[in-house]
Copies of this chain bind each other. A is one copy, B any other.
Amino acid sequence: MNNFTFCNPTKIVFGKGSVGRLRNNIPGGSKVLLTYGGGSVQRNGIYDQVMAQLEGISVVPFGGIEANPDCSTVDRAIEVARQEGCNFVLAVGGGSVIDASKVIAMGVKAPMSSWEMVKNGYRGETLPLGVVLTVPATGSEMNAGAVLSNRALEEKFAITCHHPLFSILDPTYTYTLSSHQVACGVADVLMHILEQYLTTTGQSGVMDRMAEGVLLNLLDIAPSLMKGNTDYDVACEYMLSATLGLNYMLSMGVEQDWLTHYIGHELTALTGTTHGASLMLVLPAVMEEFRQEKGEKIVQLGRRVFGLTGLSEEATIGATIQAVEDFIHSLGLAASMKEGGISETVAEEVATRFEHRGGALGERGLGTPERIRNVIRRSMR
């Protein structure tokens, strides 16, 4: 096991009606920048529930944060927060709104634009941030990461900010999500766990078992979730699994990969593909390309999570990749760039970008530009 440091101070307030505890969690004397997205929180009533909680507190609303939030939007919000003297940020939304809000909260006191923060790996003082989660997927509600896009440059990169002070998680908020949103959420959770898990075996037995446990349960609940029903217990499992998927409790002391995310980010930057869907376009090809290097772990995944038995190791690898593809299809998503309708031009552009940047990404530096080109070629077949 590798040496590691773990600290996750975010307070999770979970369950039906937990928005009722929002007010008590906002520090006294707060002037709140209330950030949200394209208006769905107004249509489904969550905005009104939040505003009712904030009665008597000074609130500056900032709506219109788009999916894959753009640095220009974040810069505008920072300017508003500065002008209005906000000292607290409350994000009401999914991963895009939360990610943007992390950068906004840190950006208010930063001596540079948000895109410069991303490019420089800036990390400074932050305003406290609260979250009311509406889309389970990214785990952003309980980690310090954020991903920002720059549409002018067609780029998308991650930055480390600070953990939210608290996050309100009400599973009933998932009832109004479309089945595509749920599918992309489940895909994102799956991929987060695999980025932390699908490396070499034998690094940590307890982390492997815990990750496998969350995966087993995710496979269990997915069919019910995809039926679009509003079973409260299933919604709870979904929302909690998304948080556990990326609060880094599943990767203590082990290597992580994130190569699929790097490639997926480029596809989103170039085509606007939803984040969760973009990952599924790449995952099976990554497993194929690295079937030697990741072979033992793929076998372990197949046997422990997909219940494969009685096959040779080599056959288990193939069957596991097939099982992953089948699961992706069961979500109604495409399992390769070709299936997802990615053009040869875009595919070439992605491969070229990694060649120009150089360097090796992912666990053990396996993701050289050459191997990434192989992944893309496999995925376009």
Contact = CB atoms under 8 A, between A and B. Distances in A.
A233 to B, nearest CB: 6
A276 to B, nearest CB: 19
Interface string A1-29: 11111111111111111100000000000
Contacts of A58: none
Contact of A15 (B2, B13, B202, B210): B2
Given A9-B7, A205-B221, A240-B253, A1 B233 contact: yes
A344 B249 CA distance: 45
A240 B204 contact: yes
B3 A206 contact: no
A244 interface: yes
Contact of A237 (B204, B220, B249): B204
How many copies are assembled?
Answer: 2
Indicate the member of A1, A12, A208 with the most B CB atoms within 10 Å: A1
Indicate the member of A13, A15, A213 with the most B CB atoms within 10 Å: A213
A240 B214 contact: no
Nearest to A235: B1
Indicate the member of A206, A208, A221 with the most B CB atoms within 10 Å: A206
A80 interface: no
Contact of A14 (B5, B205, B208): B5
Given A205-B221, A237-B205, A12 B17 contact: no
A322 to B, nearest CB: 23
23 contacts: A1-B14, A1-B15, A1-B171, A1-B236, A3-B18, A4-B15, A5-B11, A7-B9, A8-B9, A9-B9, A205-B217, A205-B220, A206-B241, A206-B244, A208-B213, A209-B214, A209-B216, A209-B217, A210-B210, A210-B213, A210-B244, A236-B253, A240-B252
